[in-house]
A and B are shown apart, each in its own frame.
Chain A
Amino acid sequence: MLYAPERFDLNEWFDLFSAALPLTIAFLLPGRFTLIALTVFTVFSVFMAQTVDSLIAVKPYDLYDVNDTVKYDVSDIFIYYFSYPPTTYLFLYFYDKWSPKGWRRAGYVLAWSLLSWGLEWAAYRCHVFYYKGWKLAYSPIAYVVIYALFMAMFHMVETVMNREGYPMRRSGQAPPGGS
């Protein structure tokens, strides 16, 4: 059973904003990936968020809480399904479009990690996260690992889809390195 938030206040507004902004940008950009690939990216994003939370945000570690209660509420689901996947999409969209190599690739991951860190700081200030052992200083390292995993997943999906004859990009979208 899902619970409603205890109060609709600052953290719920932040949840809405953190979904509306990347979703709007994602919709304004021309579609890049096929629905088959988009589904994998969305599912992987939800999987990562849910798995990390269920590893370190519950006992015995219990490093932080998300939103109003320790219970699983609608706001938590909202973040999992509407905030993280469009952000992941934007990360992969520009990663695929610009196809950075070498140091540029490391810089791209670092830039996204810093951006996410800034957003997490804002989320913390808006009471989306309650740290109980976690520190904001740990987050950039975690984001670097998470974004590196997204990149690895992206290349794995590309390889598997190519091998099975399913296109990852929509027709008309240039492959990496293209204009």
Chain B
Amino acid sequence: MADSKKVIQILRAIGSKIEEEKDYLTKLDQPIGDSDHGINMARGFGEVEKKLDDLADKDIGTILKTVGMTLVSTVGGASGPLYGSAFLKAGMAAAGKTEMNVQDFLEIMDTAIQAVQQRGKAVLDEKTMLDAMIPSLEAMKAEASEDAKTVLKKGVEAAWKGVEHTKDIIATKGRASYLGERSIGHQDPGATSYSYILEVISQQI
């Protein structure tokens, strides 16, 4: 499905996509957050971009761990420790690998999403990125015997469906929880950025 070179290519594409959607992600964060999701994510992935050249000959685990540490150090908002933990744990799950197949990818995603749950102490239906992550992972696991493209396609569909669903949820975690019922109708920025990331992976493989 992907070797180290491909992973780096995907990370570059994720960086471009986040930069492209920076204003939109920040706009989503205005009514229910602290108006910085796009800015923070673009800052973090911008720093990741600078490190990718030096990672070209490294294993996938090292690449992902470096991404995680960079995000933790540079994002500055809640998405820093959340995506940071996800990539760090993903890196541990991919340690030593220079090639991954669909099965490896699903295991890595599983580990990463668990890391987000542990860091944020959130569960499904709290209007967080997990509302896109968990259904997408389940959808991908259900198609695990298919080829990578098909698996990712299902994952992306489920992720965006999850994003739509966040509009109907009252936030009980994060900044949006201060708004209570007033958070209804707004889509979660973190679930949105995750869906872009998965979409980029699906386009690139």
Chain B binds chain A: no
Q: Which residues of B contact A (CB under 8 A)?
A: none
Interface residues of A (CB under 8 A from B): none
